[in-house]
Structure 1
């Protein structure tokens, strides 16, 4: 059951976001009502409409905050891996996995709510910032490949994002695929390695 945080600190908007996070984590982004969020925050349902027009707007704010945290983690991982382009690239992939496990409510709001990232300009900007970090990592990693053979950085980052998302969904959160015979971190690392070798970005094993 979600824990009741309550509205005690004078910031009703954030209290509602915190309440929604608990409800999303427990029930999914479509499994709660605004009334439930208000009750968890310790306010009346009418008070919610001072800040959000509906549940989708509340979920969008949760997602926006999630993307901001996600982008910060991705940027930290990228910078920590320097000066090696490969280390930075691999670190951003691991940051995706770490975020999903540490911030499940945010993750679900971002990727499982069905809301478009273009619902608000602020949400779109936060989502774009996180995506650009991985694209920058892919760009730096592939710079030594001849231009005529170099895959677009957006394509490489999209492939790694998809791989990371798949590992999270299948093996890191106890859903459809259940427990894998290997840790999710190892699955992602070896998958990235195979992919990069296929592109010629890593030497092949002898």
Structure 2
């Protein structure tokens, strides 16, 4: 484990970076504040200048993760325009790409047990990410007759759940859950089946 240091008073970020490394190695409950302090190169007492406890530290790591995640899915959505279908599919792929590139943030966000309502800043940025996904779903669902149209929040939640399942089972090297298919292919085919069921893409696509 590489010991980190901090510079120019950036203690708070040094502690978050240390926590992210520990989360990747040991999980969100597998380390102490003292370990995070040691990793950052400061005394345990210094941690309490910024965080009341380990859960507050993990919540800040999650908040920063949601900031990145919201930017990633917004970029994917924008890149897919003007096609509602392309934008929607891109946000699903962005979820998988984020989980693979930022595993520490992903775990802090989705596997730590920290509620997104723990503090207002975390709740706001988590909502910003959800809003992008719901916007993509809402755009695409306009092509469904109103009487058959699911709420955009439900539509996006289905894809979020599918993306999350692929990540958890097949993209994070979970023991005993190796798939003969790439996670990206599993997600793409799953989204395709879902969209065909809604009549949004042709059965032969």
Tell me which interval the TM-score lies in, with the shorter structure as reference length. Answer: over 0.9
TM-score in terms of structure 2 length: 0.97
Kindly indicate whether the alpha-carbon contact (under 8 Å) linking 1:78 and 1:89 is maintained by their aligned counterparts in 2: yes
Which sections of structure 2, spanning at least 5 residues, go unmatched?
none
Q: What SS does structure 2 have at the residue aligned with 1:98?
A: helix
Deviation at 1:9, TM superposition (A): 4.2
- The 2-side partners of 1:188 and 1:4 are apart by 37
Kindly indicate whether the alpha-carbon contact (under 8 Å) linking 1:171 and 1:177 is maintained by their aligned counterparts in 2: no
Deviation at 1:176, TM superposition (A): 4.4
Map of 2:128 onto structure 1: 129
TM-score in terms of structure 1 length: 0.97
Which sections of structure 1, spanning at least 5 residues, go unmatched?
none
Kindly indicate whether the alpha-carbon contact (under 8 Å) linking 2:144 and 2:198 is maintained by their aligned counterparts in 1: no
Q: What SS does structure 2 have at the residue aligned with 1:29?
A: coil
What is the total number of aligned residue pairs between the two structures?
205
Map of 1:161 onto structure 2: 160
Q: What SS does structure 2 have at the residue aligned with 1:91?
A: helix
Query: 2:13 aligned with 1:14, yes or no?
Result: yes
Kindly indicate whether the alpha-carbon contact (under 8 Å) linking 1:169 and 1:176 is maintained by their aligned counterparts in 2: no
RMSD after superposition? 1.1
Kindly indicate whether the alpha-carbon contact (under 8 Å) linking 2:19 and 2:58 is maintained by their aligned counterparts in 1: yes
- The 2-side partners of 1:6 and 1:19 are apart by 9
CA gap of 1:34–1:165, structure 2 versus 1, over 3 A, is: same
Query: 2:46 aligned with 1:26, yes or no?
Result: no
Deviations 1:60-86 (A, max 9, x none): 000000000000000000000001100
